[in-house]
């Protein structure tokens, strides 16, 4: 039970791996796309960069449309260009393999909107090295893969 719940408890850390941030040069006058980013009912939450928490909420909301599963092998890591957000690398988003392309396109659209003219770049090192897709309660998530060692 603890093995199943552990990854779920770590879900809020999805964007916590972004420890470092670096400033970027704004590409125009006025507020950046990060500062004005909104998505549905997601709160306007800062995170390490302006409204980074809002983007995290948006991606989690989108994820719920694409993460249904019956078996562990249904779950695969999504890939997209995180640009200024650092999203999806630590840990990756796990989705149903048959809906992977649709999720990646929807997630990329939101990341592109968020990073259109950024003033901040999230991202940074991740303490967990290997992840594996895992189906828990009919939803794709991840578990940490423990490899041999001391």
Q: Give the tens place of pLDDT for each residue, 93-110.
A: 999 999 999 999 999 999
Give the percent of the chain with pLDDT over 70: 76
**48-62, 79-93, 123-137: least confidently modelled range:** 123-137
Domain-embedded: residue 123? yes
14 domain residue, yes or no:
no
Number of domains in the chain: 1
75's enclosing H/E stretch is: strand 75-77
Tokens of 142: 């991840």
Is 61 part of any domain? Answer: yes
Phi first, then psi: what are they for 69, rounded to 5°?
-150, 160
- Segment among 32-41, 48-57, 64-73, 119-128 with least mean pLDDT: 119-128
Q: Is 23 a member of any domain?
A: no
pTM attached to this predicted model: 0.77
Domain of residue 42 covers 31-144
Residue 150 located in a structural domain: no
| pLDDT at position 13 over 50 | no
8 found inside a domain: no
Phi (first) and psi of residue 75, to 5 degrees: -95, 125
């Amino acid at each position: 039970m603890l093995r199943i719940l552990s990854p779920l408890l770590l879900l809020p850390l999805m964007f916590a791996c972004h420890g470092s941030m670096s400033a970027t040069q704004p590409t125009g006058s006025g507020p950046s796309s990060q500062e004005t980013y909104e998505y549905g009912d997601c709160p306007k939450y800062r995170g390490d960069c302006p409204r980074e928490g809002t983007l995290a909420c948006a991606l989690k909301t989108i994820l719920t449309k694409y993460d249904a599963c019956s078996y562990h092998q249904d779950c695969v890591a999504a890939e997209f260009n995180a640009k200024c957000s650092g999203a999806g690398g630590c840990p990756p988003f796990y989705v149903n393999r048959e809906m992977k392309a649709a999720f990646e396109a929807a997630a990329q659209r939101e990341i592109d909107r968020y990073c259109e003219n950024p003033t901040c770049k999230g991202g940074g090192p991740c303490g967990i090295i290997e992840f594996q897709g895992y189906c828990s309660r009919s939803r794709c998530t991840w578990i940490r893969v423990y490899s041999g060692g001391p």
